[in-house]
Amino acid sequence: MLSSAEIIHNASMAGIGIPAFNVPYLPMIEPVICAVVDEDSFALVEVARLEWIKFESKSPAAVMEEFSRWSQPEYVRLHLDHIPVIDEDNQPVDYRAIIREGIALGYHSVMVDGSRLDLEGNIEATRQVVELAHAAGIACEAELGAVLGHEAGPPPDYKELFESGLGFTDVQEAERFVRETGCDWLSVAIGNVHGAVSGALKDEKKVEARLDLDHLGRLRQATGVPLVLHGGSGVKREYLLAAIKEGVAKVNIGTEIRQVYESISRASGSLLAAQEGVYERTAWLIREYFGLAGTREVVAGGLVEGPK
């Protein structure tokens, strides 16, 4: 059975973007996995620290326990997403302890987010986590640049953000970052934004983001590793598909399925109805938005030879 690193490598070689579905509520895990299996595709299920701090996924252990109940390793793997060195509230986090816990629990890949540090600090923190992950035989994702949206307060004007390139990943820094850290996948900022997670803003429709594809192409050439698009919800499909062709091999999806779960739960009070809504939206995303129905064998069937 292929590792997550090998599967993302295959996706990169095949020009496929693997969806990675965030699960801020434990009952979302079953319908997400069922949708992936029914569409004969491959995806990651993932949980970020803020999803057990600010939502109801409880803990890395609780997510692993629920994932293990429904696990279909030929179709899905579990990723520990966004473990920040400094969190969205500007508080320091014991990130190494959380990463070690995730590794001990059996997560198939991990992510350290040192993007709120300066470049030198981000390189050092990421290098340490890469060593932990690689010693356990799993892949490590990192982030360079500022994918905004999780911070408290109103978000910046999107048009101004995009036109100014605010927070975009610097190409020269990215080349050095990957070389010195040894990270397997790199989350980049090219106009993508996270969905809001604080207060009333978390229920609002997410901005329809654009992507700077030329900048993405330069990052791909400079880094030579599979790139990751965080904040995939709300990105125009034409931009998403073009970004995948330019080297994005993993696309995080959170708001798109979280809001479905929350809105149906509030309106109906029915857990089953909320789960059905998540299943239907996940299946639609795989089939219509990503166009990945029937592609599992391409990425998970065997290792594709060639440079990463």
Active site residues: 81
**Residue linked to tokens 């540090």:** 117
Cβ proximity of 110 and 141 under 8 Å: yes
Cβ proximity of 178 and 127 under 8 Å: no
Element (H, E) at 292: none
Cβ proximity of 138 and 109 under 8 Å: yes
CA 59 to chain centre: 18
118: its two tokens: 């300066």
Cβ proximity of 189 and 156 under 8 Å: no
What is the SS3 assignment for 73? coil
CA–CA separation, 77 and 20 (whole Å):
9
Cβ proximity of 215 and 188 under 8 Å: no
Q: How far, in Å, are 11, 193, 204, 245, 265 from residue 234 at the CA level?
A: 22, 9, 12, 18, 22
What is the SS3 assignment for 78? strand
What length does the chain have? 308
Cβ proximity of 58 and 52 under 8 Å: yes
What is the SS3 assignment for 261? helix
